[in-house]
Amino acid sequence: MSDSVYEPPKVWVWNKGNGGRFANINRPVSGATHEQDLPVGEHPLQLHSLATPNGVKVTVMLEELLELGKPAEYDAYLINIGEGQQFGSGFVAINPNSKIPALFDQSTTPGTRVFESGAILLYLAEKFDAFIPKDPSARAECYSWLMWQMGSAPYLGGGFGHFYAYAPEKWQYPIDRFAMEVKRQLDVLNQALSNQTYLCGDEYTIADMANYAWYGALVLHNIYEAAEFLEVSSYEHVVRWATAIEARPAVARGRRVNRAWGPEEERVPERHSSADFK
């Protein structure tokens, strides 16, 4: 740990040299950096994404809808965030925040853009009347767990993940701070799942999809290479829940869509039909 003490200036100035692994794509302003049209496929739903946890939420949902027989065919195009494709003019037009995933629905007049993964899950659940409870109390529980995930994941990804895995140096204070919070979140989930199958009881919903994408990956796939550090195996109910979700055929497919790393047989960089999984 460095002995130097940072004294914040009166006015913060952007230093392109700071930021660790993703410094080349970080900047303090929004908007497009270059002109780049997005490809357009034949299906009503056009997804532009990457198989990070936030991207996986949506591809799992789309594959689950297709598994149910819903007319949710989609084209999924890869957005390479390491190359800054999220700052292309076409992508910014459907997500002014320049983050994946982003969805464009061509079946409406005019077309509908949807950004933020939680908003996309809600949009699809309502559009196809699936994976969202009809009972008002259960529906509220689903909304609560979905918003819990949206609010909690930045502590896991942007907080713990950044300082534990990506920062240019290891600093004890932020790692300890965010590790404590991530373990608290895992305990919240573990207790919630201790006497029920899914987060909303016996019904599998978008709340499970959203939380699985982050916390399932954490307990099953050693993201940030932090499984031992966080003792994730001790959260037995989370592990049981995540394992059951991952065994679903639609989840297995959804995890592969827009995946640009790992074994070749696990990658489906673009998805236009079920044939792409073969």
pLDDT at 20 (0 to 100): 72
- The CATH number of the domain holding residue 116 is 3.40.30.10
pLDDT at 19 (0 to 100): 64
Given a cut of 80, is residue 141 above it in pLDDT?
A: yes
> Within this chain, do residues 71 and 84 fall inside the same structural domain, yes or no?
yes
Closest among 275, 237, 274, 250 to 56, alpha carbons compared: 250
Confidence class for position 3, pLDDT limits 50, 70, 90: low
Q: What angle do CA 195, 120, 50 make, to 5 degrees?
A: 95
> Within this chain, do residues 144 and 201 fall inside the same structural domain, yes or no?
yes
Half-sphere exposure of 262 (CA within 13 A, CB side): 14
In a domain, 123, yes or no: yes
Give dist(CA 224, CA 68) in Å, integer.
Answer: 33
In a domain, 36, yes or no: no
pLDDT, one tens digit per residue, over 109-137 is 999 999 999 999 999 999 999 999 999 99
How high is the mean pLDDT of the chain? 95
Give the range of the structural domain holding residue 189, as residue numbers without chain letter. Answer: 136-247
- The CATH number of the domain holding residue 195 is 1.20.1050.10
Closest among 157, 35, 160 to 100, alpha carbons compared: 157
> Within this chain, do residues 69 and 158 fall inside the same structural domain, yes or no?
no
> Within this chain, do residues 109 and 60 fall inside the same structural domain, yes or no?
yes
Q: Which has more confidence, 168 or 247? A: 247
Mean pLDDT of 36-45: 98
The total number of structural domains in the chain stands at 2
Hey, how many other C-beta atoms are within 10 angstroms of the C-beta on 128?
Answer: 17
Closest among 246, 223, 275, 264 to 60, alpha carbons compared: 246
pLDDT at 5 (0 to 100): 85
Mean pLDDT of 148-173: 96
Give dist(CA 129, CA 124) in Å, integer.
Answer: 8
Confidence class for position 1, pLDDT limits 50, 70, 90: very low
> Within this chain, do residues 186 and 152 fall inside the same structural domain, yes or no?
yes
pLDDT, one tens digit per residue, over 50-96 is 999 999 999 999 999 999 999 999 999 999 999 999 999 999 999 99
